[in-house]
């Protein structure tokens, strides 16, 4: 048979995708970097995933752009990393166009070429959800609580066709009926309802009520007969869409058919199998629940499978053949599941959860990042290549702080799970656990490596003997949470910074309180001693940084430039430069001598959680809520006041 033009183009596209995937799989750490950055660790936080209609690709919306994975090889390439945080992605029915949601609007992309086609704007602060009609000619989008509207767009021209009003809050879900004549939308707050609309006449048809909490997700069975809704009230309802009271719902008559209960957390996402016989639900997994993905028999309403192995689940998508479904969660992994036997069959890695802390090893060869809210796993990376070299698992909650021992042989991590764990860096094995605090904490090694200090939200500071794992003493005096602890270079003084807006200095020889520094005028978020010990830097929630004279115990300079809380600060090894990372998404480089801002590094799409200098002072690491770590080449950053984008 003579090949058609479309079949030739398909072969060329698949071939080019495989080539691009293989290439980008090797060097994505170098792709699309901001000026001054030399590598990126992580592919961004996962927000939503979607299979292409033919099942050959999986699109992933992340905090730094869109990734497209070839499902034969599981290799991925970035469609773009230039639009920042992407909330969601949706393929049109023929798979040729991809719609993405951002704060700036709806972007439509040509899947074959990767080129941007046009942008749809009209919602305040961007759309909350979008859906293509079955024929692909119409795109529906919902607005947040500020505009509460639903827009219908001509998908070919981008022209707005119709606006539907009636919801009283943010639109949380949108689905079309199979014939395209009915649009179903849900509201997260305040009324917690589902509405059915006549698309042809542009009128409201019916309201479904019954959930006691915000409706977070909607899914319609392929035949359009059953509507499923997932809610903050931890239930899934199946509805008949023709009755005026509502959960599974009968989509034609609007009647509530069944309520599925069991999740311990909010039901964030739902997906029907292509044959409509199975419903998959994903949850936050609150209350310590590990099982966050459940499979349900739609006919009987009985649970038919439970899947363990992922933190809070944000998105689910079935392959067109119904044999596989993918889940994207806050733990940074995309898990592939066998839908027939309810078992794990593969994992796509590289996306990481937001790291709260970052630290270089003393030799500068290894970078450690802390476990985030979802997976609680500390990771080790090759600081030269950005490749992951190890994972440290054991914590059961977010890790607030990391610290390498002076010899680089151990890593300490302080977690909200109320423990401090000590790790052998070479073997990746745990060496001990310190227990005593009642909440999360920051940690720091003494210069000789024999003592570990921890400051906690329980307002206490504890000293630990690293060799015996025993407590050496407790300091009390702060009246609010302690966010940072730091040893002076001579090891004789410990400084602690607190949300009570004070810094306390402790004599480690006598165990006595030496001095309280007052005057920052803000809660303290981070503290750091200069290498010579003559300056103590404190970073505040108000965006300011103070440099204190440790002899006179008075502030020498105030550094102003950030517009939000400064979470992390660090001195360069020669003490001439201070780096700061802020929730405003910027990294500042400051002259310690003059107090002037030399450079503002811009490249993250989320707030900065922590910063660290490499020992040779040539590289700077910054970790962010966007799920990435950027490595900055300071030899390229220059020394004049400027912004690097």
Read off the pLDDT band of 376 (50, 70, 90).
Answer: confident
Whether the Cβ atoms of residue 455 and residue 464 lie closer than 8 Å to each other: no
The pLDDT mean for the chain works out to: 87
Residues, the chain: 645
Q: What does the pLDDT look like over 129-170, one tens digit per residue?
A: 999 999 999 999 999 999 999 999 999 999 999 999 999 999
Tokens of 240: 């008949």
Could you report the per-residue pLDDT of 190-214, keeping only the tens digit for each?
888 999 999 999 999 999 888 888 8
Quote the percentage of the chain above a pLDDT of 70.
90
CATH of domain 352-481: 2.130.10.10
What mean pLDDT comes out for the span 426-454? 94
**Most distant CA atoms of the chain, gap in Å:** 90
Q: What is the pTM of this model?
A: 0.83
Mark 140-160 as b/e (b = at least 16 C-beta within 10 Å): bbbbbbebbbbbbbebeeeee
> What's the CA gap between 379 and 42, in Å, rounded?
11
What local confidence, expressed as pLDDT, does residue 377 receive? 87
Q: State the DSSP H helix or E strand holding residue 26, giving kind and residue range, or none if neither.
A: helix 5-27
Where in the chain are the domains?
A: 45-120, 352-481, 531-587+599-623
Higher-confidence residue of 8 and 27: namely 27
DSSP assignment string, 20-67:
HHHHHHHHGGGTTPPTTEEEEES---EEEEEE-TTSSEEEEEETTEEE
End-to-end CA distance of the chain: 53
DSSP state of 492: S
**DSSP letter, residue 191:** S
pLDDT tens digits, 345-359: 888 877 777 788 999
Sign of the CA dihedral with 435 first, then 437, 441, and 442 last: negative
Q: Please, are residues 242 and 255 in contact by the beta-carbon 8 Å criterion?
A: yes
Burial of 34 (0-12, 13-18, 19+ CB in 10 A): middle
Task: Provide the CATH topology of domain 45-120.
Answer: Hemopexin (2.110.10)
DSSP collapsed to 3 states, 498-529: ECCCEEEEEECCCCCEEEEEECCCCCEEEEEE
3-state SS, 287-319, equals CCCCEEEEEEECCCCCEEEEEECCCCEEEEEEC
Using DSSP's 3-state secondary structure scheme, residue 434 falls into strand
Is 352-481 in the same CATH topology as 45-120?
no
What is the pLDDT confidence band of residue 254, given thresholds at 50, 70 and 90? low
Whether the CB-CB separation of 461 and 454 falls below 8 Å is answered with yes
Contact 181, 135 (CB under 8 A): no
Q: Could you tell me which residues come within 8 angstroms of residue 638 by beta carbon, excluding any fewer than 6 positions away? A: 598, 599
Q: What angle do CA 577, 623, 582 make, to 5 degrees?
A: 60
Phi then psi dihedrals of residue 17, to 5 deg = -65, -45
DSSP state of 2: P
CB contact set of 92 (below 8 Å; sequence gap of 6+):
98, 99, 132, 136, 139, 155
Residue 240 has pLDDT above 70, yes or no: no
Extract the tokens encoding 4: 């058609």
CA dihedral 18, 20, 24, 26 (to 10 degrees): 60
Of the given ranges (6-15, 75-84, 160-169, 545-554), which has the lowest mean pLDDT? 6-15
Predicted confidence at residue 266, as pLDDT, reads 84
Mean pLDDT of 566-572: 97
User: How high is the pLDDT of residue 81?
Assistant: 63
Q: Tell me how far CA of residue 207 lies from CA of 143, 251, 627, in angstroms.
A: 18, 12, 39
HSE, CB side, 13 Å, CA atoms: give it for residue 183: 29
Task: Report how far apart, in Å, the C-alpha atoms of 574 and of each of 160, 210, 321 are.
Answer: 59, 64, 60
Q: Is 395 exposed, middle or buried (0-12, 13-18, 19+ CB in 10 A)?
A: buried
- Whole-angstrom distance, CA of residue 539 vs CA of residue 2: 70
| Sign of the dihedral defined by the CA atoms of residues 420, 426, 429, 432, in that order | negative
Among 285, 283, 271, CA closest to 339? 271
Q: How many CA atoms lie within 13 A of 272 on its CB side?
A: 21
Q: What average pLDDT does the segment 473-482 reach? A: 96
Tell me the C-alpha distance between 533 and 515, whole Å.
Answer: 16
Q: Say which residue, 480 or 310, is predicted with more confidence.
A: 480
Q: Radius of gyration of the chain from Cα atoms? A: 27
Tokens 């690097």 belong to which residue?
Answer: 644
pLDDT-wise least confident of 81-90, 423-432, 600-609 = 81-90
Burial (Cβ within 10 Å: 0-12, 13-18, ≥19) of residue 454: buried
- Whether the CB-CB separation of 176 and 182 falls below 8 Å is answered with yes
Task: Give percent of the chain with pLDDT exceeding 90.
Answer: 65
DSSP state of 9: H
With cut-offs at 50, 70 and 90, classify the pLDDT of residue 290: low
64-68, 251-255, 287-291: range with lowest mean pLDDT? 287-291
Predicted confidence at residue 493, as pLDDT, reads 98
Q: How many CB atoms lie within 10 A of CB 594?
A: 9
238 pLDDT more than 80: yes
Q: How far apart are CA 569 and CA 620, in angstroms?
A: 11
Q: What is the pLDDT of residues 108-137, one digit of tens each?
A: 999 988 899 999 999 999 999 999 999 999
Element (H, E) at 403: strand 399-404
Distance CA 495, CA 489 (A): 11
CA pair distance 143, 125, nearest whole angstrom: 8
* Rounded CA separation 150/186 (Å): 11
């Amino acid at each position: 048979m003579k090949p058609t033009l479309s079949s030739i183009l398909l072969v060329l596209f698949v071939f080019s995708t495989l080539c691009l995937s293989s290439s980008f799989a090797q060097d994505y750490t170098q792709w699309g970097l901001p000026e001054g950055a030399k590598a990126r660790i992580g592919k961004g936080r996962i927000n939503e995933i979607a299979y292409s209609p033919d099942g050959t690709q999986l699109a992933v919306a992340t905090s730094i752009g869109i990734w497209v994975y070839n499902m034969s090889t599981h290799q991925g390439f970035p469609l773009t990393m230039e639009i920042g945080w992407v909330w969601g992605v949706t393929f049109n029915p023929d798979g040729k166009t991809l719609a993405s949601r951002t704060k700036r609007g709806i972007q439509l992309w040509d899947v074959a070429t990767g080129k941007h086609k046009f942008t749809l704007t009209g919602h305040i602060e961007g759309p909350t959800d979008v859906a293509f009609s079955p024929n692909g000619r119409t795109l529906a989008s919902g607005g947040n609580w500020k505009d509460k509207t639903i827009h219908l767009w001509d998908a070919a021209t981008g022209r707005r066709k119709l606006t539907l009003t009636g919801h009283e809050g943010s639109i949380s879900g949108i689905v079309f009926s199979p014939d395209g004549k009915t649009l179903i939308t849900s509201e997260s707050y305040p009324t917690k309802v589902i509405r059915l609309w006549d698309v042809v006449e542009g009128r409201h048809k019916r309201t479904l009520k019954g959930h006691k909490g915000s409706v977070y997700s909607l899914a319609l069975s392929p035949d359009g007969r059953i509507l499923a809704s997932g809610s903050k009230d931890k239930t899934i309802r199946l509805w008949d869409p023709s009755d005026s009271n509502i959960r599974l719902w009968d989509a034609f008559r609007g009647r509530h058919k069944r309520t599925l209960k069991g999740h311990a957390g909010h039901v964030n996402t739902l997906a029907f199998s292509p044959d409509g016989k199975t419903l998959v639900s994903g949850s936050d997994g609150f209350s310590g629940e590990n099982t966050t993905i459940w499979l349900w028999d739609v006919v009987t309403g009985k649970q038919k499978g439970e899947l363990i192995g992922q933190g809070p689940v944000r998105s689910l998508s079935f392959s067109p053949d119904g044999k596989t479904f993918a889940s994207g969660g806050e733990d940074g992994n995309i898990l592939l599941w066998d839908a027939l036997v309810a078992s794990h069959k593969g994992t796509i890695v590289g996306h990481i959860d937001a790291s709260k802390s970052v630290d270089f090893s003393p030799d500068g060869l290894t970078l450690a990042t802390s476990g985030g809210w979802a997976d609680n796993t500390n990771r080790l990376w090759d600081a030269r290549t950005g490749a992951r070299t190890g994972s440290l698992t054991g914590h059961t909650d977010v890790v607030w702080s990391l610290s390498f021992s002076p010899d680089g042989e151990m890593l300490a991590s302080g977690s909200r799970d109320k423990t401090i764990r000590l790790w052998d860096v070479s073997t990746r094995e745990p060496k001990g656990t310190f227990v005593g605090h009642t909440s999360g904490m920051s940690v720091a090694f003494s210069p000789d490596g024999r003592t570990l200090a921890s400051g906690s939200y329980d307002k206490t500071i504890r000293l630990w003997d690293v060799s015996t794992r025993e407590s050496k003493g407790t300091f009390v005096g702060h009246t609010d949470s302690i966010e940072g602890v730091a040893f002076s270079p001579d090891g004789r003084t410990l400084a602690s910074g607190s949300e009570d807006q004070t810094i306390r200095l402790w004599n480690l020889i006598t165990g006595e309180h030496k001095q309280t520094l007052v005057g920052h005028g803000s809660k303290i978020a981070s503290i750091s001693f200069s290498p010579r010990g003559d300056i103590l830097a404190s970073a505040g929630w108000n965006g300011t940084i103070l440099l204190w004279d440790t002899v006179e115990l008075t502030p020498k300079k105030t550094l102003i430039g950030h517009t939000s809380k400064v979470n992390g600060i660090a001195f360069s090894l020669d003490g001439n430069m201070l780096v700061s990372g802020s929730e405003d998404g910027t990294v500042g480089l400051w002259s310690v001598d003059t107090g002037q801002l030399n450079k503002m590094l811009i490249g993250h799409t989320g707030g900065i959680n922590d910063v660290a200098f490499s020992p040779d002072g040539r590289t700077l690491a910054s970790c962010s809520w966007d799920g990435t770590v950027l490595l900055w080449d300071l030899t390229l950053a220059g020394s004049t006041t400027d912004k690097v984008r």
